[in-house]
Amino acid sequence: MFKLLANENMKIYPRLRTYILVGVLALAVILIAWIQADVQKPNPNWKQTLTTQNTQISQELKQTKAKLPARTRVQLQQKETLNDYYISHNTDPNRQTLWTFNQAIVTNVPPLLLAFILVVAGDIVASEFSAGTIKFLLTQTKRRYIVLLAKYLATLFFGLVMTCAFFVISTAVGALFFGAHGAGLPHFYNTPSGSVAQMSTLSYVFMQYGFLLIQIVIVSTIAFMISTIFRNSAVAITLSILAYLLGNSICRVLAEYGFQWTKYILFSNMDFSQYVVGGPLVNGMTAWFSVGMVVAYFLVMNVLTWWIFMKRDVALT
């Protein structure tokens, strides 16, 4: 098993493709750092800006009343409360340190990171069919399910490695641009119940990375299944990324329009940070409900993947 994992890793890491992905990711992080450092200069009148913002929000809420979707109203209200909190605690939300930068990165860049992980996850089985190497791969002494298991574990491991690389890059870039401090500064956030809570920025960043890893496991599993079903790697990669991007936005839109059944879609349940920050996508969803949904989807997808792969005839291609 260990040797098979080494094989799969040999087919992922020494390739130019992997370096390009990491390079683009690094470039994106540097770009964001540069914009934040250069464009968002510290604003001495930040309290006033926040107050103005809040007046605008209250006005908007009053004027539009029922026209706005419920979720948007909640988000505006949350922003208002948070701004009040910043003002009363005398904390500029736009102050820049390494850890606030890390926090901004981990909340905004994951779609890019995930898309890159999906390139590898969507490719890992399909490419063997595309290239015809599957004929050699399955005619050695290893049974099919073990070959597939090695590929799955290699996929998950790649997700972990990419996330670590992502963390290291954003920490290095953040330290370079903003100085290595700010770990202990409090980070304020809206709780699902509508109040504001605080946590050290360091803890908040690691919490978000934890939730991100859960998402990566699930999204990789989706891509792995697609990769097994479609024997063409270009199709598998495209479909995986589309599924992830569209799945997420469609769920958000559906939830915005108040469709209760949105909560049964996998994409609504993947991001567990919603139970700590901001509140769930659909009212009435609980963390345990999401755990149940995710586990159920996870099992179904894996059973399907293994079943298809075991049954599949490697016929004339």
Partner 1 sequence: MTQHPAVQIRHLTKRIGKKTIVDDLSFDIQPGEVFGFLGPNGAGKTTTIRMMVNLVSRTKGEVFIQGIDLSKHFSEAMKHVGVIVENPELYKFLTGYQNLKHFANMSLGVDKQRIDELVKIVGLEGRIHDRVRTYSLGMRQRLGLAVVLLRRPSVLLLDEPTNGLDPAGIRELRDYLRLLANNEGIAVVVSSHLLAEMELMCDRVAIIQNGKLIDVRTLKELATDTGEEVAVTFEVEPMDRAVHLIQQQFPDMRLTSSEKQVVVATQREVIPDIVAALAAEQVRIFGVTATNKSLEDSFLELTGGNQIV
Q: Is 141 helix (H, G, I), strand (E, B) or coil?
A: coil
If the CB atoms of residues 2 and 288 are measured against partner 1, the closer one turns out to be 2
Dihedral (CA of 137, 138, 143, 145) sign: positive
CA pair distance 43, 74, nearest whole angstrom = 27
- Tokens encoding 173: 């870039």
If the CB atoms of residues 73 and 142 are measured against partner 1, the closer one turns out to be 142
CA pair distance 126, 227, nearest whole angstrom = 5
If the CB atoms of residues 123 and 271 are measured against partner 1, the closer one turns out to be 123
Place of tokens 């659909």: 282
If the CB atoms of residues 11 and 47 are measured against partner 1, the closer one turns out to be 11
Q: Give the CB-side neighbour count of residue 288, counting CA atoms within 13 A.
A: 0
Q: How far is the CB of 186 from partner 1 (least distance, A)?
A: 49
CA pair distance 276, 312, nearest whole angstrom = 43
If the CB atoms of residues 36 and 127 are measured against partner 1, the closer one turns out to be 127
Q: How far is the CB of 147 from partner 1 (least distance, A)?
A: 8
If the CB atoms of residues 23 and 179 are measured against partner 1, the closer one turns out to be 23
Q: Which residues contact partner 1 by CB under 8 A?
A: 3-4, 6-7, 10-11, 14-15, 131-133, 135-143, 147, 311, 313-316
- Tokens encoding 224: 């792995």
Q: How far is the CB of 158 from partner 1 (least distance, A)?
A: 16
Q: How far is the CB of 122 from partner 1 (least distance, A)?
A: 17
Evaluate whether 221 touches 301 at the Cβ level (below 8 Å): yes
Q: How far is the CB of 53 from partner 1 (least distance, A)?
A: 52
Which of 131, 128, 127, 154 lies closest to 4 in space, CA to CA? 154
Q: How far is the CB of 168 from partner 1 (least distance, A)?
A: 26
CA pair distance 16, 28, nearest whole angstrom = 18
First and final C-alpha spacing in the chain: 28
Q: How far is the CB of 235 from partner 1 (least distance, A)?
A: 19
- Tokens encoding 268: 């609504």
If the CB atoms of residues 47 and 312 are measured against partner 1, the closer one turns out to be 312
CA pair distance 255, 274, nearest whole angstrom = 13
